[in-house]
Amino acid sequence: MRSLDASWGSDHTELLPPGRRVGDWVVAEPIGAGGWATVYAGRPARAGAGPGEVALKVLPTAGLAPRQARSVAESARREVELGRRAGHPRLIRLLDTVVLRAPDHPLLDGAIVLVMERAARSLRDLLDAGVDEAEGGRLVTGICEGLAHLHRSGWVHADLKPENVLIGDDGSVKLSDFGLATELTGTHGYAPPMGTLDYLPPERWKAPLGELGVQVRPSADVWALGIVIHEVFTSGAPLFPGATPMARGAAVQEYAAGRAPLRMDGGVPPFWRDLAADCLAPTHAARAEHTAESLLARIAAGRQGQREAAPARRPAGLRRWARAAVLAVAACGAVGAAVWSYAGRPGAPGTADGSGAGPSRIRVFNAERACQERADRDPQCSLGLAVDPTRPYTAGNVAPARVWHGDVLEADCRLTRGEVVIDESDMRSTHWFRVRLPGADARERAWLPEVRTKDRPALPHCPAPAAAR
């Protein structure tokens, strides 16, 4: 790690003003910030030198308490050590390190700068826009390849989340941010009691804190991978309910204790649902058998099976019919694993003959207990149907007809990439059912959010509404 003496002006609107030189690099615009660091774009100070644009991760140490400063320095040391010893195409490369010396700029004096390769965007950016199953599978495979290499090299990432998965201009997937990465000594290592709450495994919530920190094992990354898989196929929707990370952590504990089921969104495809469920085994012991290497082998086998099962080319009309059938079967597979499914229960709503073909009857569900117990159709307990499921679910986008808990509606198809809707118990989904308006003729349709029913009938996918095309 090199030291650098720097002279800075007295008026700075940025921690590192654009145009300033840091070692062999020139600072450009800020591109991100976290609890300990600010990240800037950078470029080589000399034209034609270096790899082009880079990311400059600045970790100030001035003004921190001694323990905090040691934590920052240790975080930087871990990133440098991992970058030196565990390089791989699925890990962001560390290119250089600099320690700033700026006596006339106290906030910068002693700051550590990590120079890394620059990515185009994060996985979180992609999830906000939504990805299809093929792209989602490619992304998950890349993440799993990175984890498998880390674990083979004797490291645990310990902070896997969509923000720490970066995507290159060529679409390549790379793990990043190794400030909490932990080197293993035997089966486990020790790390500071830090991390992103939404991605911590159940055992970390009660892990004892010793002199070396908390115990960390590769199964912690496998748990986080399960959470990320769910987010990849649900446009980033959290898996566990709760309005805050602490509330969601409490839900994780309820699940781990066997007091609550694993509630996966019905939009997660069956193969990835099974994979995520194994990643999310509630104990370390149950999860340990599902290593990143074994998960990667399952993904490869699953892809090979899909290629071998691919049918010969058919005439275009027949191919369209076959695709609709495959989508219906996939929906059936999701029903079999969905926590809310009524499949197999006596009296479950559905088609008259129970075949699942054609329109299906679904029962409206209101998560508010007080409304579940009322039979007087009080207006305060009514629920709205959307006119367009791809637009925000606001007053201007609600159909005139209202529905109540227990009402039975006729649904003819399902849209998987609509607006996110969250119910009173914090369940959320981007899926919608197209239903016939109560008391209307067959031509009038509206949209019921999937969170407003516990039924998961096998229905074809809906075409996007005309306004969304």
Tell me what the mean pLDDT of segment 35-62 comes to: 79
Tell me what the mean pLDDT of segment 84-105 comes to: 82
Residue 48 — pLDDT band, cuts 50, 70, 90? Answer: low
Nearest to 299 by CA among 155, 150, 161, 142: 142
Does one domain contain both 319 and 180?
A: no
Does one domain contain both 145 and 269?
A: yes
Q: Dump pLDDT digits (tens) for 159-201.
A: 999 999 999 988 999 999 888 888 888 888 887 778 899 999 9
Does one domain contain both 210 and 275?
A: yes
d(CA 99, CA 109): 8
Does one domain contain both 112 and 127?
A: no
CB-based contacts of 277: which residues, under 8 Å, 6+ apart?
Answer: 226, 262, 264, 337
β-partners of residue 384 are: 402
Does one domain contain both 110 and 197?
A: no
Does one domain contain both 206 and 72?
A: no
Q: Dump pLDDT digits (tens) for 438-454.
A: 765 656 889 999 889 98
Does the pLDDT of residue 93 top 50, yes or no? Answer: yes
Domain containing residue 69: CATH number = 3.30.200.20
Does one domain contain both 456 and 407?
A: yes
> Is the distance from CB of 327 to CB of 420 less than 8 angstroms?
no
Does one domain contain both 59 and 156?
A: no
Residue 7 — pLDDT band, cuts 50, 70, 90? Answer: very low
Does the pLDDT of residue 418 top 90, yes or no? Answer: no
The residue from 117, 135, 165 where one domain ends is 117
Tell me what the mean pLDDT of segment 9-28 comes to: 69
The overall average pLDDT reported for the chain is: 79
Does the pLDDT of residue 340 top 50, yes or no? Answer: no
Range of the domain at 381: 315-468
pLDDT-wise least confident of 10-14, 64-68, 234-238: 10-14
Does one domain contain both 103 and 174?
A: no
Does one domain contain both 199 and 178?
A: yes
The residue from 76, 98, 117 where one domain ends is 117
d(CA 74, CA 192): 10
What's the number of CA atoms in the CB half-sphere (13 Å) around residue 382? 13
Does the pLDDT of residue 346 top 70, yes or no? Answer: no
Q: What is the pLDDT of residue 353?
A: 34
The residue from 117, 146, 164 where one domain ends is 117
Question: For 207-283, where are the alpha helices, taking DSSP H only?
Answer: 218-232, 245-256, 270-279
Does the pLDDT of residue 341 top 60, yes or no? Answer: no
d(CA 371, CA 380): 8
- % of the chain beyond a pLDDT of 90: 34
Q: What is the pLDDT of residue 155?
A: 93
Does one domain contain both 340 and 458?
A: yes
For residue 446, the SS3 value is strand
Does one domain contain both 153 and 292?
A: yes
Domain containing residue 213: CATH number = 1.10.510.10
Domain count, the chain: 3
Q: What is the pLDDT of residue 279?
A: 97
β-strands 421-422, 112-117 pairing: unpaired
Tell me what the mean pLDDT of segment 358-384 comes to: 83
CB-based contacts of 135: which residues, under 8 Å, 6+ apart?
Answer: none
